[in-house]
Each structure stands twice: as structure tokens, then as C-alpha cells.
Chains A and B, each alone.
Chain A
Amino acid sequence: MTAVRSLRFIRRPVSAFALALIIAGCNRGNTGGGARVVCVSKQINEDLYAIGAENVLVARDLTSVYPEQIIKLQSVGYHRALNAEGIISMKPTLFLNDGNLGPDAVVEQVKKVGIPTLTLNPGNTMDSAQALIEALGNLFHREHQADSVVAAWKAGMDSVFADTAKWGQGHRPRVLIIHFGQIRNNYLALKRGGPADQMLHWAGADNAIDSAGGMSQLTPELIARAAPDIIIATEVGFDRYGSVEKFKTMPGIALTPAGQSNRIYRITEQKIMYFGPRTPAVVRELAGLVHQ
């Protein structure tokens, strides 16, 4: 006799309580054999689909939305606001994450009830991101597919690097990349050094922010000092405004060269916030945008 696994569909606590007491032995049974992975990293999730290992997944985090098929999976919440029971109620055989999750204690709690957890840090370089795919391939016995994905990726990057020199000659526009933080609902500017910044560099443009390391709060002074020629905004933040015209109403944007020439572009965060097999295509897309 096992507990009723979850009652997400029951909204009223009273009936839930009654139901819980009345149902003594509702047996969902174990899903027949095989891995059940809960992964709260959008990067790792994308990689799993890339190597064809996606059928091990049973749940994702809120922000994992690529590729489209993943949206059918149950979400266990925003990766910075998780709770252990929600994850455990999926009865995973493995809890997979990339180290970027909160609150901290959740990992310990999941471990405490005996569920294996694995943290795979993708690092900040393309090499480490490719190593991540290899590791996933080993983990889920898709080594062959992992190898071929990485090989294609490398070939794609070689071709991109060949064009980088061409893109980088001539005018290198200053680009400001604006992301959106869902835990505090604020806009963030990407600084130098991260994957997005590197992709920008390969595409023949420079980050309008001069300093390195992570992201900083977006302020009108920051925008004014950056004076970007081009603004690229990730989708959640862009969609809150809905259009280029409306986006320009954000304080400070309209006065920038980018605002005045309407060079504000939308891009999905899963393309630029980390390295993945799509990176060669993304760099080309960026190059297309910035050198129009």
C-alpha cells in the first residue's frame, strides 16, 4: 500500500483531507522499470533532448521550455524557489541539477530521503559545456549520440570561427544584452565573460557593459553609460512589454542609439544564456542581427 502520490488536482483542503483519510489503499503502482529523472536545469534538459535521452525525464523546472515537447512534462516550480516534497513526489530515481537552484537545503532534503542526486556544473566555457554532454551520454548510455552531437557542434563552431574574422573587421557594434530575473522580477544586464558575451564576441560585436562577471541590476545610468547600438532582450523580459515600441518606454532605453534606431531584438534565453548544440546557429543569428 502506497500513499496517493499527489493531489495537485485537488484544490480544496477540506476535501483533500477527507480524501486522504478515506483512501486507504489507492495504489498507483510503480511505473514499470526504467529511470525517472527530475531535472531542474534548462541547459541539461536541452542537452538530454539533443542526445535522445529525453524519455528518462519525468519532470522539469518552470523555465525549461526548449524544445517544445518538454512543456508536456510536469513542472516542479521555479528553480530558485523549489521545495523538496514537490520533487520527491515525482518518485524520481535521480534528481539532476546544475548547481543553480534554491533554496540550498532542497538538495540535502532530497538526498535525505534516499533519492540519488547529481549536480553537473556546466562551467562557463564551450569546452566544459561539451564535456557536460559527454557526461550525460555516459550517464544515460547514449555515448554514441553524445559523440555525434559534440562532433557536429565542433564542426559548426569551426565554420563560425572561420567567419568570425570577417564579422569582426569593420565596425563592431556595442550590444547590451538584457535578461529578466524571475525571483525578484527585475531586469538585468549581462556583463562580460559569460556564454552570451562570448557568443557576441564571436559574432563580431562587443558587450556594451565594460565590466566582467555575471549580471548586474539594470538602471537608467547603466543604460546611459553603456550607450548601446543594439539591444538584445531575452523573451520573458521582452514579452512583458510586448513590442519594440513599448520596450522603448523602459526608462533610459529610448535615448540610446539602439532605442533611436529601433534596433531592439528579442531572443529566447535558452539560446544565449548557456552553450549548447545550437550555439553555432545562434552565433550566426546574432551576427545577422548585429551586422544588418
Chain B
Amino acid sequence: MLKRLSNRSFHALLAVGLALAMVASASIGDFVFPLREMARFIGQAFHLIPLTTADTLDRNVFLQLRLPRVLLGTVTGAVLGVSGTLMQGLFRNPIVEPGLVGTSAGAALGAALVFVLGGKATLAFTAPLGSAAVPVFAFAGGFAATVLVYRVSRSFGKVNVFTLLLAGIAVNAVSSAGTGFLSYIARDPQARNITFWNLGTFTTADWRGAVIVTVTFAICYLLSVRYGKALNALMLGEDEATYTGLDPARFIWPLLVVNTLMVAMATAMVGVIAFIGLVVPHVLRLLKSSDYTFLIPGSALLGAMLMEIIDVVARLVIAPAELPIGIITAVVGAPVFLGILIRQQRRGGGAFYG
């Protein structure tokens, strides 16, 4: 029945779901903020309502810790959702997403390099980059990983899915080894951070980080959303896409760059979170359509919504401690991944949805 909705209506439905998830995420946690209180705090933040001193602590927690966390989580979910969609379009395969292909792991390794070695003389060339060192290295790591996997998995112009997965495993393994080694040689404070990283967490969210990722996503999204039609044409193959007047080389590499940029930025802030990019486009295709002009905005909305729901669960399940996000996404995403793989096997590659 959902299939009959127009793209616009479907997106509107997702947007409503996202709004609800964001409100829930802003409200629930070790601190619970009722709606009225949230509204009041926001009003006070914009100086529309006079401050009340009795709830200074709650207000500070809400404005300084909770809200940036909601923003960071929302945007990260959108980044991963859109990234999964773009990569599936570029690689022409449903089993592709930044976690499996190694983009996130490569970005994490790049960032870890800066965290651990950045201060020392060994990596003095990060100094001129200043605080831009982390995103730059994260981007370089993510891009190197993606290009490697892309190159290795293509033969005769088609992407071989098993080569792709194996190459992704290899890249993930190398990155884990790298970050493992770095945490082994790291001085204490940095080592503690790296462990978190491999599992992803929004715990340390602050406004600066959240805004950086938001701006990056906004730019990357605007740059990529107009390629929906091109990715549709690409579904038939690069030659076919050429016949419709497109030049695949003209948009494949730019899209890969834009995709890697936003994934790297999010990973640098939050750590490695896998499977969102796999699950979100898959669900949208099942619910409605494979048209990329629908999928790209849809996956931003659904990815954000899913991430917020998961973040709430992460906060509640073993409160007051938190479960790393990556654990929940793996629990949800791995079965979906296996399901897709099995069905693809059965149909012998190519179209596999029923």
C-alpha cells in the first residue's frame, strides 16, 4: 500500500517519523525531559523566555549535551543512509555500504593516525594542518580504501560482488590491525578513545562536532541529490548510461569523492558504525521503489530516523552505562546482510528481489 504513495508523500511520512524520533531522542535518557520543559529550555536559549535558576543543571544538560547529541546522531544517520544509497548505485550492487566496503574503517584509521602520532615528531607534517588534520587524514584513509576496493572488484566493467566483499573484508582487516597497533603504542588517553571508536558512539557529542558534520552533510547532499537520474541510468550498465547521453566518468568519481568526504567526517567524530547504509536503501526499495530520485532523499530521512531510534535504545538498555551504537547496528544489520546475500545467491546474481 505504501507503494502507491507518491514520492513526495512518502518523504513527508518519513519526515514525520524522523521528527518523532528526534523528539523522543531529545527527551529520553538518564535525564528525561518532558515536552514542555524542552520547549522552555529552547525558548530560554534564544532569550525568548527569562531564565529560571532552579533548573540550570537540567537546562545545561539538555542544551550542551543532549541536543548536540541528537543533532550529531540525526546527521550521522542521514550520512550513512545516503552513502549506502550512493555506493549501491555506483557499484550497481545491493550489498555495498561504507562499512562493508571499508570506507568507514579507512577513515577511522586515518583519524587514529592523527590522534596517536599527530603530536609526535614522527608525523610532524600534520602540524600545518592544525585541527583540520583529523578530517583530512580521515578523508584520505576513507578514499584510499574505497578506491582500492572499487578497482579490485571491477572486471570487464562489472562489479563482482564476491570480490567486492572479500576486498572489503581485507580493507577492514588492515584498518583494524592498524588501529589496533596504534592503540597498542598509544599513550594512555589516546588509547582509550580508539577503543570506542571501533564500535561507534555519540557519547562525546558537542556542538562544534555536530555542526561540522551537519555542514559537511548539507554540502555533500546538495551536490549528490541531483544525480538520482544518472544513477538510475547507470543501473543498466556504463555503456547503456553512455547511450542516454551521460558520461559515467564525469559523475562516478565526483560522487565517490563526495560520498567519502561525508562518511570520513562523520566517522572522525563518531567512530565506525556499520550496516545502516546497507539496511536503509534495502528497506526503502522493499517498501516503495528503486528509483534513485526517491531513494536519495528517502535514505537521508530514514537513516536519520533509524539512527535516533537506535541511539535511544543504546542509552536505555544498560543504563546508566551506554551500549556502543555499532553493536546495535550490527545486531540489526547483520541478519539483513545475510538475507540479501542468500537471496542473491539463489537467484544467481543480477536481480534478486522477489
- Residue positions of A touching B, CB distance < 8 A: 1-8, 10-11, 13, 16-17, 19-21, 23-24, 74-78, 80-81, 83-86, 88-89, 91, 100, 102-106, 109, 112-115, 183-184
Complex contact A85–B32 (CB within 8 A): no
Query: Within the assembled complex, what's the spacing in Å between the Cα atoms of A69 and B28?
Result: 31
Query: Within the assembled complex, what's the spacing in Å between the Cα atoms of A2 and B333?
Result: 38
For chain B, residues 18 to 42, give those with C-beta under 8 angstroms from any C-beta of chain A.
24, 27-37
When distances are taken between beta carbons in the complex, the residues of chain A under 8 Å from B316 are 7, 10-11, 13, 16
Complex contact B57–A83 (CB within 8 A): no
Complex contact B320–A103 (CB within 8 A): no
When distances are taken between beta carbons in the complex, the residues of chain A under 8 Å from B321 are 76-78, 81, 83, 86
Given A91-B57, A113-B65, check contact A8 B319 (CB 8 Å): yes
B129-137, B190-198, B212-220: which lies at the A interface?
A: B190-198
Complex contact A113–B64 (CB within 8 A): yes
Query: Within the assembled complex, what's the spacing in Å between the Cα atoms of A109 and B205?
Result: 9
When distances are taken between beta carbons in the complex, the residues of chain A under 8 Å from B64 are 109, 112-113
When distances are taken between beta carbons in the complex, the residues of chain B under 8 Å from A4 are 32, 34
Complex contact B28–A85 (CB within 8 A): no
When distances are taken between beta carbons in the complex, the residues of chain A under 8 Å from B195 are 80, 102, 183-184
Complex contact A6–B320 (CB within 8 A): yes
For chain B, residues 331 to 352, give those with C-beta under 8 angstroms from any C-beta of chain A.
none
When distances are taken between beta carbons in the complex, the residues of chain A under 8 Å from B188 are 100
Given A80-B192, A83-B322, A109-B204, check contact A17 B31 (CB 8 Å): no
Any A CB within 8 A of the CB of B182? no
Complex contact A105–B204 (CB within 8 A): yes
Query: Within the assembled complex, what's the spacing in Å between the Cα atoms of A190 and B128?
Result: 39
Given A13-B316, A103-B204, check contact A89 B31 (CB 8 Å): yes
Given A8-B320, A24-B36, check contact A85 B189 (CB 8 Å): no
Determine which of B56, B196, B203 lies in contact with A84 in the assembled complex, contact meaning CB atoms within 8 Å: B203
Given A8-B319, A104-B193, A184-B195, check contact A1 B35 (CB 8 Å): no
Given A103-B204, A104-B193, A114-B57, check contact A3 B320 (CB 8 Å): no
